[in-house]
A and B are shown apart, each in its own frame.
Chain A
Amino acid sequence: NAGVTQTPKFQVLKTGQSMTLQCAQDMNHEYMSWYRQDPGMGLRLIHYSVGAGITDQGEVPNGYNVSRSTTEDFPLRLLSAAPSQTSVYFCATTPGRSYEQYFGPGTRLTVT
């Protein structure tokens, strides 16, 4: 099993550009989440999904969109990148009847 995979590992964007961060899992976990990690601030929840077709906002959803068309994939879209979105982004999954989160390796995004 690959577990939770994220692509790309690194990305540099210019202000105003758009892009999609990919997250995929092969563990058949129902729940998936996106976090951003900034220095000195821990991880903050952006969006999450309790299953295919269902998404909801976390603590810091502004500037990001998500969709969940399949159990396996949970992409995060930045429609118009801003320097404030420079961060490390982690995707995480959770089995349906558990609290434990399994994190992906992360994507380091820089917006100039």
Chain B
Amino acid sequence: GENVEQHPSTLSVQEGDSAVIKCTYSDSASNYFPWYKQELGKRPQLIIDIRSNVGEKKDQRIAVTLNKTAKHFSLHITETQPEDSAVYFCAAFLGGGYNKLIFGAGTRLAVHP
């Protein structure tokens, strides 16, 4: 079936460094790719998303890139801060049906002061 693989599962960086999380998806008809941030005990919050007709999108310190040919997309966080510490999930919206978001397993990011 359709799946989304996410790497790495854990990521530890020093404050001010960059962090990169990568995801691959299997359904070539997928056309929407959101990223969610989840703090401990909280609900997932959308931080950035990208549609299939765009290769890159940036919002302040975060950016997402999409390579549809290779079926992978990445989240880039620059100038990391301790408050960026959380679990990050990528997801892919399956084509041809409603609202079937398939999530990756998550990346636990720790930013050390």
Binding site for B on A (CB under 8 A): 31, 33, 40-45, 48, 50, 56, 58-59, 90, 94, 99-101, 103-106
Q: Which 5 A-B pairs have the closest CB atoms?
A: A42-B103, A103-B43, A99-B32, A43-B103, A42-B105
- Interchain nearest-CB distance for B49 vs A (Å): 7
Cβ–Cβ contact B98 & A31, under 8 A = yes
B43 proximity list for chain A (CB < 8 A): 90, 103-106
- How many A-B residue pairs have C-beta atoms within 8 angstroms? Tell me: 54
- B99 on the interface (CB 8 Å rule)? yes
A100 to B46, CA, bound (A): 8
Return 25 A-B CB contacts under 8 Å, by A number.
A33-B99, A40-B105, A41-B105, A42-B4, A42-B104, A42-B105, A42-B106, A43-B89, A43-B101, A43-B103, A44-B103, A45-B102, A48-B98, A48-B100, A59-B1, A94-B99, A99-B49, A99-B93, A100-B46, A100-B49, A101-B46, A101-B99, A103-B43, A103-B45, A106-B43
> Size band of the B side of the interface?
20 to 34
A90 to B44, CA, bound (A): 9
B104 proximity list for chain A (CB < 8 A): 42
B93 proximity list for chain A (CB < 8 A): 99
A100 proximity list for chain B (CB < 8 A): 34, 46, 49
